[in-house]
Structures are given as structure tokens and as C-alpha cells.
Amino acid sequence: MNQTDSFIFDIPECLRNLWWETCAQEFMSSSSIENFEAFLEFLTDYLSLKVRPITGDHIFDILIRSPEQALIEKLDNDTCSIINIGDEPTSVITGSKQCFLKSGQGFWVTDEIKLNPTSTTNEAVLDVLLCIKYKEGYSNLRKSALLDLNFSEDAFNERVLMSSGVCTAAKYSSQNAPYFDNAYISRSPWKTPTSEDSNILTTGNTSDFTKTIKVFKVPEEIIKPFQLLELNKVATEQDYYSRMNGIKGKRAIEKATRYVKTFSINNADVEPITVFNRPNLYSTARDNIIERYLGLHIDFTFKETISQETHHPNLMSINLGNEDRYFLYVNLTVLDLIELLKPNEGMTYRRLVQTFFQLYPNYPVIRLKINPGDAYIAPAMNLIHDGIGSKNSPDLHLMFRGYISSSPMELRSL
């Protein structure tokens, strides 16, 4: 079964009995929740083992109601599962379908489908439903990939924001900017990291290029040749490429390439890639063959299956446009995701990303502001990431792929 499919599951009779024997009375009298907590612990263990991992993003709720109430009330949009712990069969509505749940059966939905209970089949009997929802608000950051921001502390607050998680891109997909099915994008509102968040994001050894994101200002002498190309006047993709492929453009790229090579591990070659995006894109990563946007992704083709190998090329991107652009990332490496999700052998990177967001929809995406003339270095084959382009003018950047150190060597003679 796919992590992204909706499905029916059973809970064992002993768990349902445990609810009726130890919790029901306590719950109705509001006397204490001691037994309920113990019941939830057993249930969480069972569901995590047999159904879906229950994470810190999930909360439980008991819903007891009459058939009349069931017909008029709707569940919160963030309900991902309903388990019928009552004695009678009941039914739930998912999308346009009605689905019957026997006593002890549950239904788990993807976040694309809204779940609503309807009435019990016996109109004289109350529904007793256990609902599993996604918690509101942000989930806590785990410590892993590190941000090396070569600016002051004030600049950190000005440049770094955290999303309130993610949502599916489906409703933002349009003819102009179609997304892949099951693509995810960051979800507003954005918040400023607390000092604890900032500590998690930045403190530690930033010399490992496979798990470090670095943002810094590119020296004036590297940017100047691009300014001479008057890229601020670029309106079309063709215009951008003709300026970059002219004699002056080629010289500017060659000089920038020599500069980036000084960061390169073992002085290996780096490959420059000129990138143009039209203004006002919420996602910049696009499959140019299929002509669809990827949303948050790891830089592998869809068919590639995950591996524990982490020594992949990373990238450096220099913002050559007129305006700020943004690099988005999740501060967890592929190895973290493998440890967290325990994927089946043969799972693709794309499915790994979908599974993570489905189970942790409140995990913050980090948004880094990249000013004109700034660069970032990121392990794009080892982190979930994306970009947000310039708002009003074309989004222009020069990207390099290679084994680019996050602790650059001394600048050599250019």
C-alpha cells in the first residue's frame, strides 16, 4: 500500500474493549484522563506499527454524537483518520463517496480528501468516533542540516523565516504553472525563528558540505562583469541568454566559474548553468520536459530509488537579478528521512518527500532571503528544497554544480 493512498484498517477487539472498560465512564464523567492516556499510548503503538506512524503532529479527539448532529456537523479539515469505536456500524464521507465502517474499523485519508462522518446505521444509537487530526501550529525543529549565514545576527532575523508547514500544491496548480500530482509547497503564515530555533538551525560544525547551507555576499569583482551586461533590462528569456552568451557574458561566466572553482573540493571542475525564471513564481524547480513544477523536492529524477550514499554534488547559485529571491529547505538530510520514515527498499526520492510531508505536514520549511549579488551553497541532492523567484522582474541566477565546499578555501588569483 502506498503512503499516499486512503484506506480502511481494523483495530483489535482488545483495544476497543479497553476503551469501553477503562475510558468510557471516565470520559463521560470528565473525572480524569489517566486511563484515556494509557489507552492512547496502546493505540498509538498499534497504529504506528500496523497502520501509519503517529507523530508529534497528530492529536486525538473523541467525538460522541447523535445521528442528527452527524448530518449537520462537519469535521475539522485537518482530520486524517476516524476510527469507529462504537458498537454499531457507521459511515464516513470521503470526497463524493460514502464509506461504511464496522465497529472497530478506521479510515485514513490523504490530505487531498476531506473526511466527514455521517450517521450510524442504527438511528437510535450514538456514534462514538475516535478522530485523529493534525495539530495546529508548527512542529518543533529537529537538529540536523546546518545554516552558515555569513551575516550579522540582525541579518539572520531579517533573512530567515519558517513556514507553518506545507500543503499540497494542487489548488495552486494552474495552466501557467502546473505542478506534478502530489507536489507539496510551503504553507503560510511564516514566522521568525525563536532563539531556540536559530540555535538548532545554525549551531554546530558547518564544514560538512553534504549537510550545510551557506549564504554569503559574492565579491564585487565577480558581480561587476554581470552588471556591465545590464541584466536589469532583461525582459525575456531569449534576451537573458543572448546577453549571457555574448563575448562579455561568456567572460563574466568564466570569471565566476574560476571563482567558484576556488571553493571546489580537490579543485575539481564546476559546471555553470544559466537560469531564467519568469517573475512571481512560488516554486522555481521545474521539469522542462514534462513542463510541470516539482514543488519541494530532492534533486534526483523521479525514478531514482533512495540510497544511504550522501557524497553527491551540491550546488552554488548566484542571484544576478534585480530583486531578492528565496531558497527554501527542510533542515533534514536524506539519512534523517530514512531513519524517520523507515521506507521500503525501492522507494523513490519523490515518494520519500511525499511520505515525509504527509506524516509531518506541520514541519517548518526554512526560507532564506538571497539578495541580488548574494550566493548560496546547498546540498540539493541531500535535502528537500525549492526556490521562490523574484516578485516583479525576471528571476535570474547562475548556478554551479560540483563538489563545492561550504568552507571555501582562500580566494586564489582570478
Using the rule CB under 5 A, is 374 a contact of Fe ion? no
**Cβ nearer to Fe ion, comparing 200 with 380:** 380
Instruction: Kindly tell me which of 24 and 399 has the beta carbon lying closer to Fe ion.
Output: 399
Contact letters for Fe ion, residues 259-288 (x by CB under 5 A): --------------------------x---
The nearest distance, CB 299 to Fe ion, in angstroms, is 4
Q: How far is CA 195 from CA 153, 200, 201, in A?
A: 11, 9, 10
Point out the residue whose Cβ comes nearest to Fe ion.
299
Taking the least distance from each CB to Fe ion, the nearer of 47 and 380 is 380
Q: Which three cell numbers stand for residue 331?
A: 533542515
Q: Find the part of the chain contacting Fe ion (CB under 5 A) among 175-183, 326-334, 376-384, 389-397.
A: 376-384
Query: Among the candidate windows 89-97, 104-112, 172-180, 379-387, which touches Fe ion by CB under 5 A?
Result: 379-387
Residues 6+ apart with CB under 8 A from 339: none
Q: Is 299 in the site for Fe ion (CB under 5 A)?
A: yes
Instruction: Answer whether 345's CB lies under 8 Å from 290's CB.
Output: no
- CB neighbourhood size of 61 (10 A): 12
Relative to beta strand 366-370, strand 325-333 is: antiparallel
Closer to Fe ion by CB, 299 or 336: give it: 299
Please name which of 250, 167, 148 lies closest in space to residue 205, comparing C-alpha atoms: 148
* In the complex, minimum distance from the CB of residue 285 to Fe ion, in angstroms, rounded to a whole number: 5
Nearer to Fe ion, 78 or 299 (CB): 299
Joined grid coordinates for residue 283? 516554486
Least distance to Fe ion, CB of residue 329, Å: 10
DSSP, collapsed to helix, strand or coil, labels residue 116 as: strand
- For the record, the C-alpha cell of 223 comes out as 558581480
Pairing label, strands 7-10, 90-94? unpaired
Alpha carbon 319 to chain centroid distance?
23
Contact 359, 53 (CB under 8 A): yes
Binning the chain into helix, strand and coil, the percentages to the nearest 5 are 30, 30, 40
Site for Fe ion in 380-409 (CB under 5 A): 380
CB of 297 to Fe ion, least distance (A): 6
Q: Which is nearer to Fe ion, 15 or 147 (CB)?
A: 147
Q: Which is nearer to Fe ion, 86 or 387 (CB)?
A: 387
CB of 359 to Fe ion, least distance (A): 22
Shortest Å distance, C-beta 133 to Fe ion: 32
By rule CB under 5 A, what count of residues binds Fe ion?
3
Binding site for Fe ion (CB under 5 A): 285, 299, 380
